Structure 1
């Protein structure tokens, strides 16, 4: 039977969904942590994956990349890069993960592609960071301070007044500041669009209990009809970062303008699937197999 490695440290519901989808297509999936892998140049295979000592997997599905020091993260990405060099399809690959996990590069690539994204400053100098914050506050704008690497709203703060600058801290020496976008209508909300192979397959509205709209932070999910302009913007954002699939967060401001606020290369989809009625795992697995491993004959 053909074998797939699912890269994750916390399989949970998403891991089970993927395993089931692979099994329905005659693939056996094994969970694998990048923390257990190693690069070795003294054996038959130059990379060691537990459970794949004799033969590398037919493909790798990246469900999550562990955090850690810069050296650790670089090593994890090295493993993904090495697998691709060895001819193993990696979905999303290491370069896509790099582009999206680094918020500075995401902002740069979106802007460079002509895609609307919030005004952003990434810099090293604290005094310059404080000056930018004061300038934005004087102009009547809130700011968001984010860690350069992170997800699910961890470490994000909103700067609303001058006293908030007292706790402004860097993320390992780097300040990432972004103008806060106020959404249209009452309360706090944005749209999450799931894009697979250049097609927007599902969307939902996330309504936050605060200005953070992450489901992990208590936001509720609502099914929405996917309009052509929102779908087109999400597809362009994913293309700008060269991803197989992604979750794109889009906000419509009080002037009716659509803006991409984040592109996630390892998006969760439990909340989305609960309201859209689409088997997201099946769509992902089908795309991976058809585009990257369809040349391998099925083994019943």
Structure 2
């Protein structure tokens, strides 16, 4: 029987769905917080210590959450994921994928460099430079959105439509991440496409009660068929560029019908999406994840 570590501080709905899908395939699980892990580099063959895995390494690690914290703390959490990967433990998504996507600046840079359509974006440390960019955009008839470099669920986003609004333009921890606002018609909406192993498996339209379309901000979820190949191909291409096992890709379509990628999430929620799709996302995730895992017969084999 295989033993899987689910990395999370709050299993909740998603943790239960993963647990059920793993159990249906004969795998045991433990919920593990990265805050409780450590590196033992004293000659012990099991150099990465996870609670619940005292005498062996897990057969696989499913990452459902990476805690916030200071720079040192977050680097350590990622060190644990990198070390597990180095020891041959499949990590899903791995530390590199998390690093590339938890940082919106790097995500935007890699998408832009690969030619994936994404809204014009600027990242700066200098407040004067950020204000000059925002003023230039407003003078050209565009609106601007500021976002935290690290963040999710629409928290901390601000929209600037007039020069007077720029009095509230502030950096998040000293960094300004600015993106041109995309008008999508009278009803604010965007799209979430779930991609697993390079293939779009489910999609939804998120209709916001404000200009924010996040489910956490009250957006309504509507099903979307996967026969829109442009939508699916852009999502699949974005995930390929960022080298991820699975992802939730957020896209928006402007008033002229042109799609662009807003964000790519390496630890995506799918509760809202599951409500409007017939496929079991947890089962698809676990099926793909377990294809990477081969249960080890003995602790000695795990430690090699």
Q: Provide TM-score, normalisation by structure 2.
A: 0.95
Q: What SS does the corresponding residue of 2:200 show, helix, strand or coil?
A: strand
Shift of 1:103: 0.3
Partner of residue 121, structure 2: 120
1:212 matched residue in structure 2:
212
Q: Return the alpha-carbon distance in structure 1 between the equivalents of residues 146 and 87 of structure 2.
A: 39
What is the TM-score of this pair, normalised by structure 1?
0.96
The match for 1:199 is 199
1:265 aligns with 266
Q: Distance in 1 between the 2:15 and 2:285 partners?
A: 12
Aligned counterpart, 2:176: 175
In the aligned structure 2, how far is the partner of 1:53 from the partner of 1:162?
Answer: 59
User: 1:10-67 CA deviation, whole Å, 9 max, x = no partner?
Assistant: 1011000000000011101111111111112123321111111110100000011111
Instruction: Encode CA deviations 1:197-237: one digit per residue, 9 max, x unaligned.
Output: 01000001000001110001100100111211111110000
SS of aligned partner of 1:276? coil
- For residues 152-200 of structure 1, the C-alpha deviation after alignment (integer angstroms, 9 at most, x for no partner) is 11111111112221121112221111111111x3210011100000100
In the TM superposition, what is the alpha-carbon distance from 1:295 to its structure 2 partner?
A: 7.0
Cα distance in 1, alignment partners of residues 53 and 8 from structure 2 = 16
> Mean Cα displacement is larger for which, 92-101 or 39-48?
39-48
Q: Is the 8 A contact 2:2 2:295 kept in 1?
A: no
Corresponding residue SS for 1:234? helix
Unaligned runs of 5+ in 2: 298-304
Match in the other structure for 1:243: 244
Structure 2 CA distance, aligned partners of 1:201 and 1:118?
A: 25
Given that 2:59 and 2:295 are in contact with CA atoms closer than 8 Å, whether structure 1 keeps it comes out as no
Aligned residue number for residue 60 of structure 1 = 61
Question: Superposition pairs for residues 26-37 of structure 1, below 5 Å?
Answer: 26-37=26-37
Contact 2:207 2:219 in 1 (8 A): yes
Q: Give, in whole Å, the separation in 2 of the partners of 1:68 and 1:139.
A: 39
Match of 1:71 in 2: 72
Number of paired residues?
295
Q: Take 2:157 and 2:124, find their aligned partners in 1: how far apart are those partners?
A: 17
Unmatched runs of 5 consecutive residues or more in structure 1: none
Regions of 4+ moved over 3 Å: 294-297
SS of structure 1 residue aligned to 2:76: helix
